[in-house]
Amino acid sequence: MVLKLNGIKKSYNNGKTYALNDFSADFTSGVYGLLGPNGAGKSTLMNIITDNLKADAGTITLDGLSIFHMGSRYRGMLGYMPQQQGIYDDFTGEQFLWYMAALKGLKRKEAKETIDWTLEIVNLKQSRYKKLKSYSGGMKQRILIAQALLNSPPILIMDEPTAGLDSKERIRIRNFISEISKDKIVLIATHVVSDIEYISKEILILKDGLLVRKNASDILLKEIEHKVFEAVVGHDEQKFYEHSEYKIANIMLVGDKTCMRIVSDKCPQVGEIREVRPNLEDVYLYFAE
């Protein structure tokens, strides 16, 4: 299975602002992490892939067939978890899933089995009869994940799936996504780098509507070797970095001094400097900010 995007463009303000500009990428089975600041084009991309939004130019094919010609057959292969929690407050969790199963065309026996399974996966079996308005933010995230899985989709698109989840639930969902990705294309947009760092086949980094990087995390890390430093500085030296062109990844107090993690093409010269091993957050900062 190959989902191929070629030359996708989407603009607003009468073509003055590009949400996506000439985006091209191929996706096969596995997890893909989508990173980028707000306004980079992540949500626009996912809405175009899920056929909720039409691109101004470009093509999308699945195994060589245009998704626009496939129509409902293509949409039936999708599972989509949106970022916004647009759910029906007066439904119980189970009623909501039955409703979504009906919209997806599941038969009653299949729907019952799948609903039980998804509630188990997202750890909501004990809350299935509670109304959604009583759910916490994290529980609402989990019920949205559950509805995306109902039709066992071969293509799963998830926008900030772990937002509002505690650490235990984040790990549980992350491990589950990794397990099911063997025969699915899974695209995850997130601001939580750790959620995709170890499970992603490739990382995609968007900036201002452009795809600036798409590669495995280990290759991306090699690209910024010798470009990440720690500087232990005093008060005045810290001000120098905060008002400079250096990208600051982290600031930590160390006694009466400050340790600053700096991402830069050139070695900093102020303070006690040492080179450190890069991580994926450094990669994100270097290419997207």
Q: Taking residues 220-224, report their average pLDDT.
A: 96
Asked if residues 25 and 214 have their Cβ atoms less than 8 Å apart, the reply is yes
Share the mean pLDDT of the chain.
90
pLDDT at 235 over 90: no
Given a cut of 70, is residue 84 above it in pLDDT? Answer: no
Give the start-to-end residue ranges of the domains of the chain.
3-221, 223-288
pLDDT per residue as tens digits for the range 242-252 = 888 889 999 99
Smallest CA-to-CA distance from 221 within 278, 286, 288 is with: 278
Residue 116 pLDDT exceeds 80: yes
Check pLDDT > 80 for residue 15. Answer: no
Residue owning tokens 């400097």: 273
Cα separation, 47 vs 66, whole angstroms:
16
Specify the CATH superfamily of domain 3-221. P-loop containing nucleotide triphosphate hydrolases (3.40.50.300)
Q: At what angle do helices 137-149 and 167-180 cross, to 10 degrees?
A: 10
User: In this predicted model, what pLDDT tens digit does every residue of 131-189 receive, in sequence order?
Assistant: 999 998 888 888 998 999 999 899 999 988 877 778 888 888 888 888 888 889 999 99
Q: What is the per-residue pLDDT for 85?
A: 64
Instruction: State the pLDDT at residue 193.
Output: 85
Question: Which whole number is the average pLDDT over 210-220?
Answer: 95
Q: How far apart are CA 176 and CA 97, in angstroms?
A: 19
Residue 87 — pLDDT band, cuts 50, 70, 90? confident
Distance CA 109, CA 154 (A): 21
